[in-house]
Amino acid sequence: MDLLKEKILKEGKVLSDTVLKVDSFLNHQIDPLLMKEIGEEFANRFKDEVITKVLTIESSGIAPATMLGLSIGAQVVFARKKKSLTLSGDLYTSQVYSFTKRETNEISVSKDFLSPDDNVVIIDDFLANGEAVKGLLDIAKQAGCKVVGVGIVIEKGFQNGGKMLREQGVRVESLAIIKSLKNNTIEFAE
């Protein structure tokens, strides 16, 4: 997705060989028009599938997932990293380790919002080691959903999450795949 790659080149900051900061449009400040284009691009990538629900995880997955949901007319569910007083009742849960926050979170989705009738696309902002997506796949499996694929805004192609998922037969659609961040330079995969 050229618009996204241009934005990454223009505003992304390489913090190390493995960390790319895109806080100006995706993870802290959000560019709503870009999110709309991203939602429409995901819709286009999965246009051969009937999608009944978009599954993501708080917080940075919410904006692109909501724009995909708007584009295809599907409801969006975001997994919670913490329990709140109103997240009660029966829950699907899974364990997710976050390398950027250096902690394990138990993520939860209410059983009210995923069922065996659902065809789900999983959306997230970044794919690195694939921990968050693995947790969401686990929750979808517990719910008996069919997962039609995974949509990622930025995949770090030099980490193993994408390879691991594709080897398991999961369809992964990444809008930008970064090959390397070495020498303070952002290099995309073809």
- Least Cβ distance, residue 59 to its own copies (angstroms): 4
Among positions 7, 45, 69, 170, the unique one binding its own copies when judged by CB under 8 A:
69
Contact call for residue 80 and its own copies (CB under 8 A):
yes
Q: Specify the residue, 31 or 49, whose C-beta has the smaller distance to its own copies.
A: 31
Contact call for residue 111 and its own copies (CB under 8 A):
no
φ, ψ of residue 6 in degrees (nearest 5):
-60, -40
Among positions 28, 141, 146, 166, the unique one binding its own copies when judged by CB under 8 A:
28
Q: Which residues contact 28 (CB under 8 A, 6 or more apart)?
A: none
End-to-end CA gap in the chain: 11
Contact call for residue 50 and its own copies (CB under 8 A):
no
Contact call for residue 117 and its own copies (CB under 8 A):
no
Among positions 9, 33, 50, 189, the unique one binding its own copies when judged by CB under 8 A:
33
Buried b (16+ CB within 10 A) or exposed e, 68-78: bbbbbebebbb
Residue carrying the six token digits 């991203």 = 38
